[in-house]
Chain A
Amino acid sequence: MTTRGFHLGRRFAVFFLALFALALLPQRSRAQTELVVTNYGGSFEEGWRKSVVEPFERTHPDIKIKLVQKLVFESMALMRAQKDDVKIDVFMMDEVGAAQAAAEDLVQPISVKTVPHLADLYPVFRVPGDSFAKFMFDASVIAYNTQQVSPAPQSYKDFWDAKYSGRIAINNLDSATGLSFFLMLLKTEGATMDNTNPAFAAMKKLKPAIVTFPEQHAQLAQLFTQGDIVMAPWTSDRTLLLASKGLPIAFVIPKEGGIIQEGGLVIAKGTRKLQAALLYVNFALSVEAQAANAKFTFLSPTNAKVALDPQTAAKIPNGLKAIKALTHPDWKKANELRPQWIDRWNREVTQ
């Protein structure tokens, strides 16, 4: 019995050793760079994989992309934490997060020399010192259920219409969608970043009509899908993504306008794979990647040379005219005042 047990044990040991060696083998034989990059996850990731990751890996077989899912502010927290030992090389963040990362000196600036496609962007999408690359934009919109809301909403004031009481959601102010709505509300109510009182007064009036204050895109999708809400502030790309799943949902950019929300790629300062990171960012700015992103995930291109197919062009905000029509807020100021607004919002609106 004992000898048999011994043999069995030894056989197992050999087996596991072989397995272990096998696991090591392919990594040794292929000298590949593994570039770790973040993205927003979910349906976004499916599109990003098809439009950017797979074509990029085909063009650069020596680079392997590892996609991890991180939300904007999680990314920011991670950048801080990994400052001395970079594990994730490229982060996907919105303007607010990226500007914060740049202010904390956590980013590796780029240039037309290192990322040639930067030169193809609409000038409005270049940031001071090229601290990061804007690879897409979308618009803050009003998303609505086309069967339940007719005629289509025209103004942010429509949220105050008693017809929709108990059938609307407003994103919480600590999310990007919530912040854009709040900035538009300032405009609608004749308030300013320095005097937000009229906006808070309006929100207090709206409070009882609001089903919930979601924080994530998935929650809004769920609310629309289940029919718990018929109207909510959202973004152009996420609305179209949900509509593409067959839901009767559409968006309008109301007469007060919409906020332009930009997505940026940020290279972490101190990355050990700078060359691969630069290639990746450059690829994400290319005409082919942006056209594919527009088609699959409805991200509006920042590259001026992208020619969209007519079907996509009719759906998403695009082109210089559309970009100019959207509001470009003073993000720096909004960022500095945001904690104050959120604190007041916590006490007066969601309480």
Chain B
Amino acid sequence: MQSWPAKPPRSLAPWALLAPNLLLLLLCLAGPLLLLGRVSLMGYEAGHGMIPVWQLSNYSKFFFDPFYRAILWGTFLLGAEVTALCLLLGFPLAFALSRARGLKRAILYFCILMPLLTSTVVRTFGWMILLGNNGFINHTLLRFHLIASPLRLMYNVTGVIIALGEVLLPFMVLSIDTSLLNINPSYYEAARNLGARGPRIFFRITLPHALPGIVSGCVLVFTGTLSAFVTPTLIAGARIKVMSTIIYQQAMALLDWPFGSAIAFTLLLAILILFAATLHFSERRRAS
């Protein structure tokens, strides 16, 4: 049946193409990760340094302590909240973007990418100016007597969700946009010809086809939130503890690299498990 010759002879070409990337990953990712794994099994004594032993006590210290477990859950919860916000705001935006053409699309595209064009620190300080108790937002709302006392937007989780939502929104929008653009317009025509209306078309055609984009957008936003460090530190301060800030505290302020590495490894494993599950689920949905 095939119109071209059966399987091409086995060649090394794919491997040769992969080689530079694999080498880079091996050198710059796998190597340091192995090192991190090794350090996470070491001991530490304040004032003296690391003790080169093999032990699991750093991990048990993390998992048997409700304080640290709560931080892990809190981090995931924050990830879920930011993802939900981005999905809620991002889907309509992506829909509009996928429908726009020409100059309008270019302008919209640029506007969506805008948050990524500033450095994290500058952007975060910008948010601090807007969100503070005497910041622009509160100042304006008070001025027009829309609120009686300043809204607490800074130094709590609200500010972190707002600021992270802003910078991660482009990842959600662009992912969904890509999958919306891939929908063949004739599907819509066919649906309409068969008498389907707006909501039905949305749920039977748009949404299922956008699902891969939604999933990858969610994955990008979720990981982006989990690995964010500057924004939670500057916006929330020490009151809100997430995995990245306690890793920093252990590694940089307490110099306890072994425990810091163990926390970092725990976060990595938790993300990997979550991803594997999500991808497995979405692949199965697609297959069925």
Contact = CB atoms under 8 A, between A and B. Distances in A.
Interface in B126-160: 128-129, 132-135, 154-155
Interface stretch (B106-114, B233-241, B271-279, B280-288): B233-241
B133 A172 contact: no
In this complex, the interface size class of chain B, counting residues with CB under 8 Å from chain A, is 20 to 34
Nearest to B249: A174
A155 B282 CA distance: 61
A241 interface: no
B52 interface: no
User: Of B128, B129, B253, B256, which is in contact with the most chain A CB atoms at under 10 Å from its CB?
Assistant: B253
Interface residues of A, number: 32
B46 A212 contact: no
B238 A339 contact: no
Contacts of B84: none
Nearest to B259: A339
B254 A214 contact: no
B249 to A, nearest CB: 5
Contacts of A228: 132-134, 154
A111 interface: no
A335 B46 contact: yes
Contact of B155 (A100, A212, A227): A212
Contacts of A346: 67, 238, 241, 246, 249
A350 B255 contact: no
A103 B253 CA distance: 16
A104 B48 contact: yes
A350 B91 CA distance: 36
A7 interface: no
B100 interface: no
A215 interface: yes
Nearest to B135: A226
Contact of B237 (A219, A226, A336, A339): A219
A84 to B, nearest CB: 14
B254 A174 contact: yes
A124 interface: no
A342 interface: yes
B125 interface: yes
A103 B154 contact: no
B208 interface: no
Contact of A222 (B48, B67, B125): B125
Interface in B217-253: 233-234, 236-239, 241, 246, 249, 251-253
Contact of B49 (A104, A215, A222, A347): A104
B195 to A, nearest CB: 58
Nearest to A176: B253
Given A219-B234, A228-B154, A100 B255 contact: yes
A74 interface: yes
A182 B67 CA distance: 22
13 contacts: A77-B251, A100-B47, A103-B48, A172-B238, A212-B155, A212-B236, A214-B238, A222-B125, A228-B133, A339-B254, A346-B238, A350-B241, A351-B241
Interface of A: 71, 73-74, 76-77, 80, 100, 103-104, 172, 174-175, 211-215, 219, 222, 226-228, 332, 335-336, 338-339, 342, 346-347, 350-351
Given A213-B239, A338-B46, A346-B238, 4 more contacts: A76-B255, A215-B237, A219-B234, A219-B237
